[in-house]
Amino acid sequence: MARSASNNKVADALRHLEVADVRLAAIIKSVGACEIKMRKDPFQSLVETIIYQQLAGNAADAIYRRFVKIYGRFPPPGQLLATTHHKLRAAGLSRRKIEYLKGLSSCVSDGKLKLTLLPKLTDEQVIEQLMQVKGIGRWTAEMFMIFCLGRQDVLPVGDLGLRKAMQRTYSIESPVAGKNARHRASMEALPQHCHMVHVEVPGKIQGNRIITLFRR
């Protein structure tokens, strides 16, 4: 079950961005209201993010629905671990993603990854804990912090869609790599609106994946 981030905080962030940057102000006006929906269940959030990795939105949606249909509801780690590769492959999951999902389930089941402790950790500690699991990199950890932990100052600068959006918005020849940025008054709203710039460009099929990730 998803829950929404505070509308007041999103509104404050948007007002800050509108004042701080004319180009972002134009994007915000064009896109309109946005909402971040968060996941209550940390295990489900991680499983979902792994399934969506490197897939267009429609394809990922279909695979995710077939995955859940195997069980009739979202499975706990032990049940996922016990599921045969054949069943998971029939749902459309690649062998590598099955390996990642089972590895995650194993880490959660044996206590190597204590999901209940993550909200108490700093961003870097959360990333360090999650990256112990094969298949979880910094991007997946950042998605988890945004959509499950509800951290409003995370800007996933390694996200391809966000970088392309910034490249287009600011006429940058190539996206510049950098460390995770922080600006506590505005980071909650920035990813959605910058991704929308990318999504709205005709012919950019990959935008489906981006909009799925940032506005579900």
Q: Say which CATH number the domain at 107 has.
A: 1.10.340.30
Pick the catalytic residue from 61, 123, 153, 159.
Answer: 159
Domain with 117, as residue range(s), is: 39-147
Residue 63 has pLDDT above 50, yes or no: yes
The distance in angstroms from the start CA to the end CA of the chain is 11
pLDDT band at 209 (very low <50, low <70, confident <90, very high): very low
Residue 192 has pLDDT above 80, yes or no: no
**Tokens 């402790």, located at residue:** 117
Higher pLDDT, 213 or 188: 188
> Same domain, yes or no, for 49 and 129?
yes
Active site residue 153: no
Mean pLDDT confidence for 189-200: 45
Record the pTM: 0.73
> Same domain, yes or no, for 116 and 127?
yes
Mean pLDDT over all residues of the chain?
Answer: 80
Mean pLDDT confidence for 160-189: 65
Q: What is the pLDDT of residue 134?
A: 95
